[in-house]
Homo-oligomer: A and B are copies of this chain.
């Protein structure tokens, strides 16, 4: 580490270049086609060029005055995304935020404000006990948001998911009624389009019927799966998304836009502004000489806001619709490859590009004691992963889920990944784990 410490004397240019080289050398190669570890992978050349231009422009999204082009591009792109969701004429609102977790938190904040606008001034003590609902497979940011917003994690009620990871609507309705009987106020349902681990799509139409019946804000967390809206062949998985009040959609995942690029789309216009604005008079002067609706800064909790739009806009112009659709088509459901594999046990028909599987080392395959087998299997993935990191040949994540012990989750979102790369992953796992 000594080499990385901050000294009091300036380093020479040579030292600086050595630092840069070392940083890239020891970095994880997230763009490598054999990197299957996260939902964000790959490195798109148009996106990279756009990110470099963005750095060079070095400005801030809070006012039209200092980022006129980027603000307009955000406007154009958000409108297009809302059209794709299916809201009439692309009407509505939205913003790019620093990641899906913040987008989800914004949605919860809006839902609360919509139902109880007084909470902005008076706080949570002015409102009855609010409860939110989301599937047990949903992203942890829903609970995190609830903790931050002063709602509390205990007020996030986890709804049962079926074997494939989809929320069970009947359980949702049951838990809503239960909450109402206790005198709580259901205000927010977060459905997931593309869960993090299984890649499952909650049944949005059934969920929207329930939300409508009980007058609850419906949010769709499509951070991972939202990009399927771009695909004619796969968008049916999000049928009903147009009934949502808000949608999170992260182009930095499936659409390969460089990190970070996350959008929150909102059906009702003006709500974001009313919810978050503080009218700072040094920034949002009312006597400016242009249309103030382009000053988007007061819609967000952030003051300064990084320019995340240009990467997406330029890539869209360069590739979407055609090329991206082709990519997505090629990504989805390579799980069939695994199904025929002898060594990997895929316990779930893939619904997205997520493939969840156990590797069964020879010593475990015919073990009869089920508990013993499970205990053993739980330790297999972490050991293989540790060895994989030592060799540096490929990278995939693992985790337990419910009663399932540690399994691998492979995801593909890198257009550079080929069938050979997927084969390599299997072979490498087998090589690293056959003695276990």
Contact = CB atoms under 8 A, between A and B. Distances in A.
9 contacts: A6-B313, A26-B69, A40-B58, A43-B58, A98-B305, A123-B151, A144-B276, A149-B150, A150-B151
A156 to B, nearest CB: 10
A100 B149 CA distance: 18
A87 interface: no
Interface in A147-176: 147-155
Contacts of A8: 321-322
Contact of A406 (B40, B122, B287): B287
- Give the oligomeric copy count: 2
Contacts of A148: 109, 148-149, 276, 301
Nearest to A62: B38
Given A304-B100, A382-B289, A397-B282, A65 B37 contact: yes
Contacts of A406: 287
A400 B286 CA distance: 11
A157 to B, nearest CB: 13
Interface of A: 1, 4-11, 15-16, 19-20, 22-24, 26-28, 30-31, 37-38, 40, 42-43, 46, 48-53, 55-60, 65-70, 72-73, 76-77, 80, 98-102, 105, 109, 119-126, 129, 139-141, 143-155, 196-197, 252, 258-260, 262, 276, 278-283, 285, 287-289, 301-307, 310, 313-314, 316-323, 379, 382, 385-386, 389, 397-401, 406, 409
A297 B427 CA distance: 31
A154 B122 contact: yes
A98 B4 contact: no
A325 to B, nearest CB: 10
Contacts of A123: 124, 129, 146, 150-152, 154-155
A259 B382 contact: no
Contacts of A318: 10-11, 16
B55 A55 contact: yes
Contacts of A310: 23
Contacts of A196: 282
B58 A317 contact: no
Given A120-B152, A139-B280, A282-B401, 4 more contacts: A27-B68, A99-B303, A124-B150, A144-B301
A105 to B, nearest CB: 7
A121 B149 CA distance: 11
Contact of A121 (B11, B152, B262, B386): B152
Nearest to A56: B48
Contact of A20 (B49, B285, B398): B49
A281 B140 CA distance: 9
Residue with the greatest number of chain B CB neighbours at <10 A, chosen from A120, A278, A303 = A303
B98 A306 contact: yes
A320 B6 CA distance: 9
B258 A55 contact: yes
A253 to B, nearest CB: 9
A120 B147 contact: yes
Contacts of A31: 58
B30 A59 contact: yes
A339 to B, nearest CB: 22
Contacts of A67: 27-28
Nearest to A5: B76
Contacts of A276: 144, 147-148
B323 A10 contact: yes
A27 B59 contact: yes
Contacts of A23: 53, 57, 69-70, 73, 310
